[in-house]
Chain A
């Protein structure tokens, strides 16, 4: 594919590239990242996203972009809220997969001597959910409340405080969520999984602040070099997966009624204002609220694990919780005019100016805490990247290394890892991901989000 270089961090796929593209696609990357991006189908997928009916501005690809199904992972698309479509594939199966960062009153010196105990306690107290059931007993009525109220339900049940809601995107609750738009099958799948981590790339990481780039923001949040933080990465578990499965199927059939054409069936969509589109948005909001509650419950268990090891005085305030698989109605400037749009962020983080953005790296490298910048509002509908982005397939990652070797190698670097499965280590080894420094460099220099701090892992829990 011939890309038009705009500058060192921006590359354009012109709408003339492929018949059916309604707009250009912009890729945020440097030359080295672009070489990796070209190796899979992600740029073709970004061009396909530019075909969505009602798309406004450009289709966008973040520097962590890699091949997904339908949408690329690391893709952003805004559609006109009146005339556009909603695509469950533009959100993904793991609705409101996201990250939550907690700070702590501890330093790396406090934690190192008892790190193994801490990691073990976290591993015991936060179940992965595979072959282990949730410790939470949730009735049908509780589940309906979770779907419509989000983490407020957890706070009412003693799992957190009002301050947690203040520091959660949307205060953990998308308005318009309807528990009855979520199928009984989705509820059955998700109910035993509340408060569980899941597997794949989901994790809990005990990290320390390695370097601070924005002293003012860091000191406002009581972050200093050497301070311990906890990063939680998970989503809506089987409930969200089933909501997406249900609605991809329903919208796949609805498309014929609305005479819509898309180049990949996994991009199935329906007009936002159609009954099918509205019903999906209500179910997606409910699944998103479930995911925020899931991360709230996990944070509560993790706070308990820290207290068991380091004493009841251990404080762990929430810095922020942000979604990276979601569709949201927002107001943005399009062609100089304010416009209501539905922003699909599939593996992309909201990055409104001044809002915390977390970019997890792989378990052996580093993660970044950034703040959204004005450039994101001008160019990316207030979005930035969401991770390092895979570069190796899972089978390629597994070749040539055993889980024990990875565990040993990480331990030699001071990182203690506990994983329920061998695959949790081999498929997620550091080499499977792009260089986090390069990815963060692009969003920083493109003016989408600015570095606040680099965080390095010392304890990792994988499902």
Chain B
């Protein structure tokens, strides 16, 4: 199946349900979902690359930390990513890279600021068509 995501209802925050044919694809879809909360991603080009490494004691921590890297790059450099690649994922960390460009208020549409990805109602599990990740972010 193609990697895809949908938004989930929550009174104060926003959830992302991301699906892919495997866990890597689901994480990429979750990353794209998070980016779509921040901005309209259609306006961005993959011009610059950044290295991603997210460690954690388990898979949930690694996924939450990976998504928080996206927010860190946005706050510190204004980077918005539209392409994600995962190179390796072991028991301790997930490593990859992402490509995008810096947010420009005159050219790009900003949507909603996100404070952090959370463990609240978090799921990462096999699904009928591959893998799904559910994560709620604090906005």
Interface residues of A (CB under 8 A from B): 40, 42, 66-70, 73, 92-94, 130-132, 185, 188-189, 192-193, 198-200, 238, 241-242, 244-245, 248-249, 252-253, 264-266, 268, 390-396, 420-423, 427, 463
Residues of B within 8 A of A463 (CB): 113
- How far is it, in angstroms, between the C-alpha of A68 and the C-alpha of B14 when the chains are bound? 11
Residues of B within 8 A of A189 (CB): 72, 75-76
- How far is it, in angstroms, between the C-alpha of A390 and the C-alpha of B8 when the chains are bound? 16
With contacts A131-B105, A193-B75 known, is A395 near B14, CB below 8 A? Answer: yes
Residues of A within 8 A of B139 (CB): 200, 394
Max chain A CB contacts within 10 Å: which of B103, B110, B113? B113
Residue of B nearest to A420 (CB): B110
Taking a contact as CB atoms under 8 Å apart, the answer to whether B72 and A266 are in contact is no
**Other CB < 8 Å A-B pairs besides A199-B112, A392-B11, A463-B113, 16 of them?**
A67-B11, A68-B13, A69-B121, A93-B115, A130-B110, A131-B103, A199-B110, A266-B119, A266-B120, A393-B12, A394-B13, A395-B7, A395-B14, A420-B110, A421-B110, A422-B111
Q: Residue B57 contacts which of A67, A238, A241, A253 (CB distance < 8 angstroms)? A: A253
Interface string of B79-105 (1 = CB under 8 A from A): 000000000000000000000000111
With contacts A130-B105, A238-B75, A242-B72 known, is A93 near B116, CB below 8 A? Answer: yes
Q: Residue A66 contacts which of B11, B71, B110, B120 (CB distance < 8 angstroms)? A: B11
- How far is it, in angstroms, between the C-alpha of A70 and the C-alpha of B138 when the chains are bound? 11
- How far is it, in angstroms, between the C-alpha of A131 and the C-alpha of B56 when the chains are bound? 30
Q: Residue A391 contacts which of B11, B64, B71 (CB distance < 8 angstroms)? A: B11
Residues 54 to 76 of chain B near chain A (Cβ within 8 Å): 56-57, 60-61, 64-65, 68, 71-72, 75-76
Residues of B within 8 A of A94 (CB): 115
The interface on chain B, measured as residues whose beta carbon lies within 8 A of the other chain's beta carbons, has a size of 38
The 4 closest A-B pairs by CB, nearest first: A69-B120, A131-B105, A265-B119, A93-B115
Residues of A within 8 A of B136 (CB): 69
Q: Residue A131 contacts which of B11, B14, B60, B110 (CB distance < 8 angstroms)? A: B110
- How far is it, in angstroms, between the C-alpha of A267 and the C-alpha of B58 when the chains are bound? 17
Residues of A within 8 A of B116 (CB): 93, 241, 244-245
Taking a contact as CB atoms under 8 Å apart, the answer to whether B113 and A68 are in contact is no
- How far is it, in angstroms, between the C-alpha of A289 and the C-alpha of B7 when the chains are bound? 35
- How far is it, in angstroms, between the C-alpha of A421 and the C-alpha of B37 when the chains are bound? 12
Taking a contact as CB atoms under 8 Å apart, the answer to whether A245 and B75 are in contact is no
Taking a contact as CB atoms under 8 Å apart, the answer to whether B65 and A249 are in contact is yes
Residue of A nearest to B136 (CB): A69
Residue of A nearest to B77 (CB): A188
Taking a contact as CB atoms under 8 Å apart, the answer to whether B112 and A421 are in contact is yes
- How far is it, in angstroms, between the C-alpha of A149 and the C-alpha of B7 when the chains are bound? 41
- How far is it, in angstroms, between the C-alpha of A427 and the C-alpha of B12 when the chains are bound? 10
A-B contact pairs, 6 of them (CB 8 A): A66-B11, A200-B139, A249-B56, A265-B120, A394-B112, A394-B139
Max chain B CB contacts within 10 Å: which of A73, A132, A421? A421
- How far is it, in angstroms, between the C-alpha of A442 and the C-alpha of B136 when the chains are bound? 31
- How far is it, in angstroms, between the C-alpha of A140 and the C-alpha of B110 when the chains are bound? 29
Q: Is B46 part of the binding interface, using a Cβ–Cβ cutoff of 8 Å?
A: no
Max chain B CB contacts within 10 Å: which of A70, A394, A427? A394
- How far is it, in angstroms, between the C-alpha of A264 and the C-alpha of B120 when the chains are bound? 7
Residues of A within 8 A of B78 (CB): 131
- Give, as a whole number of angstroms, the nearest-CB distance from B130 to chain A: 24
Residues of B within 8 A of A92 (CB): 138
Residues 100 to 139 of chain B near chain A (Cβ within 8 Å): 103-105, 108-113, 115-116, 118-122, 136, 138-139
